[in-house]
Every structure is written in C-alpha cells, then in structure tokens.
Amino acid sequence: MDIKVLELTGNKARLVFVGEGHTFMNMLAEEVLKDPAVDVATYAMEFQFSDPELLITTTGKKDPLSVLRDACQRLIGYCDALLESAKRAQAQQ
Amino acid sequence: MDIVFSRLGDNEARFVLEGVSDGFANSFRRAMMSEVPTLAIEDVRIYDNTSVLFDEILASRLGLIPIRTDLSTYRLPSRCECGGAGCPRCYTVYTLSVEGPCMVYSGDLVPRDPAASPVHDRIPILRLFENQKLVLEARAVLGKGKEHSKWQPTIACGYKHYPVITIDDRCDGCGMCVDECPRGRLANGKGKARVIPERLELCLLCRLCEKACKRGGIGSEPAIRVDEERSRYIFNVEGDGSLPVREIIKEALLHLKESTRSLLESLDEIAGGTSDEESE
C-alpha cells in the first residue's frame, strides 16, 4: 500500500492512502478509534475520487503509528477468524 | 466473531455475522461487491454488423453478460506476468457468427475456454432480420466492480441489524400488530402477541407493529418494541452466477486481509525510515 506521510509527531499523524477508498478506510478508521489511547481517528476524501487522508491524534500514551499497527493486527485477526468460521460452516453443509 | 449460514447455495447465501463493528460489516459488503474480480467482455472486434444496433451498444450489451469465472485460471491484467499486454492467463476469447433472421442469444458466443462460458445461454443480445449478419470476436478479462458494474459478482448484497422484539406485560392480545406485520413474524398466543422464532430474521425493522399497537389506544408507548442488536448482522448475498457465493465471501475477506497486511508492511517501512533518520 502506498502511503504519504503529511505530518507525523508524537501524538498526531496525517497520512494519505494512495488508491484506497471507503471500503478500506471506513473499517480502518473505526478500528483505530476503538483504541483507548486514541483521541481522534477520522478520514476525509476531498472529492469523490481523491485519495483519502487519515487523521489520528492520541492522548500521548501511544504514538499514532503503533496505534495504527495494533488496529491492523486486530483487523487481520478478524479476517482470519471469519475465514476460518466460514470454512467450517461450509464444510458442515 | 462468527459466521452462521442459514442458507447457502451456489447463487445465494443468507448468514448472520456476529461480533464485528458497523465499519467492518460495511467494508465486508463493499468488498464483496467491488473488490472480487470476475470475467466480463471488455474488448470487441466487430467484423460484420449489419443489424439495427450500433457497435457501441452491442459491445455494452456483451459486456453485461455474466461469465463463469475460475479465479485459479485467470489473473487480473494489472497483476499478470505479461504486464497487461495480453496472454492466455489474463484473457479469453469468444467468437460469434450469426445470420438472420433470428434472435442472437448469449449461448451463440463460442468460448475458447469452455470453463469460461456465459452463465445463462438464453440472454438476448439482439434480433437479426432478413439479410442481417453479425460476426465478431470478443475478449473477456478479469476486472473489479469498482471499475465497472459489469465486473460485479453480486446482484444483491446487503445487510441489516439483527432484530430484537420485546413484548411487555401491557399487551392485551388485540392482534393488531399480528395483522399489520408485512412479514408475518408475529402470532397471537395466550392473550398476548408472540414472535414466531423461525420468522424473526425476516423482520424488516419497519416498526409497523409499534404503530399498530399505539393505534390500539395503549398510550404513548407501545407494548411491542422493535430494536436492533448491535454488532450482529443478517447478510443477504446473491451472486450473478459468475462465482459461487462461498467464493465471493472468501475472496472479499482475503482482499480485506491482504490490504491490511500491505498497510502493515508500509508502516514498517515508515517506522524504519524515521528511526534511521533519528540515528543519523
């Protein structure tokens, strides 16, 4: 995935996700927001086909990139669990 | 985190997805619709077209025909070793040669790869009259629904929250909610309305039963309440036949996983880059 870093400090990050859309960003922003160390996690697309820009600010306990990394790990975990569960359910049919 | 199928056929599935957030459920739906590749006719070489339809309209109609897709055989042109130039791994060819008077159907397309035939043989393409002729060669490639809807593997794909219906003690069994429900998910029990468990998932969350209850003069609060259960969704997925639904579900989840994994890799690169700068 192609990422442009617009701003990166200890408790704030602004990242542009080149070529991504609502499909990925919606899921990611919501998952990041579940982290108690996160203050703001939202994304914006200036125009319909612009690349989305993700804004993360944290309360200072964790840096934004590790927050993002944790969210990714959780999402991969969800996908694995669902793939496994779908496979099991289909095998039973 | 669980998927429980209540119906699973080749072309349709109904399942309950549990333990995920709104954002994930929506991303999953969007991924099924627009990120799972299927075959569709993209380029058409027309040798002879004396029919009443313009070449462009004809090509558009051909593109919309669903084609059986084997994802292990074909690759997206952008990810193919040939670099999108065109090779047997990223496209397949159909020929069509028909003389009028007759109706031209999707079954008249002769595929080079029999496994990649049109899903239905009786999709009308156009009508040829006396002395009209149609000769063409079409090339189908894999693509994604986000680019054009002809590459969408799903026809209907949506979800709703799981309904929770509570009927409190004030219910006098007047039966007005039972008559009102368009999905017949309520029945009259012993002096009180009750939910038919096997019909619960059919609930449209339309709340007509609540309104009917209030019309019965029970007061400002109805005795029957319809609520939505958070983090539990009923999905309804219908495929167009190009891919079995179980594969659509699998591919969509794999796509979400793959995107997240590639984000993780990029994050590692960024973190590596910044720590290098600090050490300098």
pLDDT (tens digit, 9 = 90+) per residue, B20-78?
999 999 999 999 999 999 999 999 999 999 999 999 999 999 999 999 999 999 999 88
* Residue B142 main-chain phi, psi, to 5 deg: -75, 145
- Retrieve residue B30's tokens: 């969007």
Contact A31/B1, CB-based, under 8 Å? no
Query: Does the CB of A13 have a partner CB in chain B at under 8 Å?
Result: no
Collapsing DSSP to helix, strand or coil, B79 comes out as helix
From chain A, the residues in CB contact with B261 under 8 A are 72, 76
> Helices (H), strands (E): how many in chain A?
2, 4
* Edge-to-edge strands, sheet with A53-58: A2-8, A12-18, A53-58, A38-44
Q: Does residue B91 have a pLDDT over 70?
A: yes
Higher pLDDT, B261 or B277: B261
Contact A78/B20, CB-based, under 8 Å? yes
Fold designation for B38-151:
RNA Polymerase Alpha Subunit; Chain A, domain 2 (2.170.120)
Give the Cα-Cα-Cα angle A43, A46, A47 (nearest 5 degrees): 125
Percent of chain B past pLDDT 90, that is, above it, reads: 75
The ranges of chain B annotated as CATH 3.30.1360.10 are: 2-34+155-238
Give the closest residue to B47 by CA, choosing from B107, B117, B97: B97
Give how far Cα A40 sits from Cα of A23, A37, A56, A72, B81, Å.
Answer: 20, 10, 5, 17, 42
Give the closest residue to B151 by CA, choosing from B212, B257, B242: B242
- One-letter amino acid at B169 equals D
Collapsing DSSP to helix, strand or coil, B258 comes out as helix
As a whole number, mean pLDDT of residues B79-90 equals 85
Question: A44-80, pLDDT tens digit by residue?
Answer: 999 988 999 999 999 988 999 999 999 999 999 999 9
- Using only the alpha carbons of chain A, give its radius of gyration: 15
Contact B8/A93, CB-based, under 8 Å? yes
CA distance B128 to chain A (A): 41
Q: Is B175 exposed, middle or buried (0-12, 13-18, 19+ CB in 10 A)?
A: middle
Query: Does the CB of A93 have a partner CB in chain B at under 8 Å?
Result: yes
What's the pLDDT at B277?
52
Give how far Cα B188 sits from Cα of A26, B199, B207, Å.
Answer: 43, 14, 18
- Retrieve residue A1's tokens: 């995935």
Task: Indicate if the alpha-carbon torsion angle B207, B210, B215, B220 is positive or negative.
Answer: negative
Query: CA–CA separation, B51 vs B131, rounded Å?
Result: 9
Q: Which of A2, A69, A93 sits opposite B5 (nearest CB)?
A: A93
What's the pLDDT at B216?
85
Domain A2-92 is classified in which CATH homologous superfamily? RNA polymerase, RBP11-like subunit (3.30.1360.10)
Query: CA–CA separation, B40 vs B85, rounded Å?
Result: 17
Is beta strand B91-99 parallel, antiparallel or unpaired with respect to B133-143?
A: antiparallel
Whether a cis peptide bond, with omega within 30° of 0, leads into B77 is: no
Task: Indicate if the alpha-carbon torsion angle A76, B16, B171, B215 is positive or negative.
Answer: positive
Q: Are B253 and A82 in contact (CB under 8 A)?
A: yes
Question: B122: which DSSP letter?
Answer: -
Beta carbons within 8 Å of A76's beta carbon, 6+ residues apart: B257, B260, B261, B264
Per-residue pLDDT band at B279 (split at 50, 70, 90): very low
Question: B165-223, pLDDT tens digit by residue?
Answer: 999 988 888 889 999 999 988 988 878 888 998 899 999 999 999 999 998 888 889 99
CA distance B159 to chain A (A): 15
* Of A83-87, B51-55, B200-204, B273-277, the least confident: B273-277
Query: CA–CA separation, B2 vs B256, rounded Å?
Result: 16
Query: CA–CA separation, B116 vs B66, rounded Å?
Result: 10
Closest residue of chain A to B250, computed from CA coordinates: A83
Domain B2-34+155-238 has CATH 3.30.1360.10: yes
Residue A69 is inside which H or E element, if any? helix A64-92
Mean pLDDT of chain A: 92
Give how far Cα B197 sits from Cα of A59, B186, B203, Å.
Answer: 46, 9, 11
